[in-house]
Amino acid sequence: MSVPLILTVLAGGSTFIGAFLGIIGQKPSNRVLAFALGFAAGIMLLISLMEMLPASLNTPGMSPVLGYSMFIIGLLGYFLLDRLLPHQHAHDLTPGKMPSRNLRRTAILLTLGISLHNFPEGIATFVTASTNWELGLGIALAVAIHNIPEGLAVAGPVYAATGSKRTALLWAGLSGVAEIIGGLFAFLLLGPNVSPVIMASIMSAVAGIMVALSVDELMPLAKEIDPNNNPSYGILCGMSVMGLSLMMLQLWTVG
Amino acid identity, position 190: L
Q: Contact at 8 Å (CB) between 172 and 15?
A: yes
Q: How far apart are CA 54 and CA 185, in angstroms?
A: 25
Q: How far apart are CA 45 and CA 27, in angstroms?
A: 27
Position 157 scores a pLDDT of 62
Position 109 scores a pLDDT of 58
Angle between helices 165-190 and 103-131 (to 10 degrees): 30
Q: How far apart are CA 61 and CA 196, in angstroms?
A: 8
Domain carrying residue 86: 2-254
pLDDT reading at 219 higher than 90 = no
For the entire predicted model, the pTM comes to 0.65
Please state, rounded to an integer, the average pLDDT across all residues of the chain.
Answer: 76
Q: Interior CA angle at 39 toward 73 and 239, to 5°?
A: 75
Structurally, the chain folds into a number of domains equal to 1
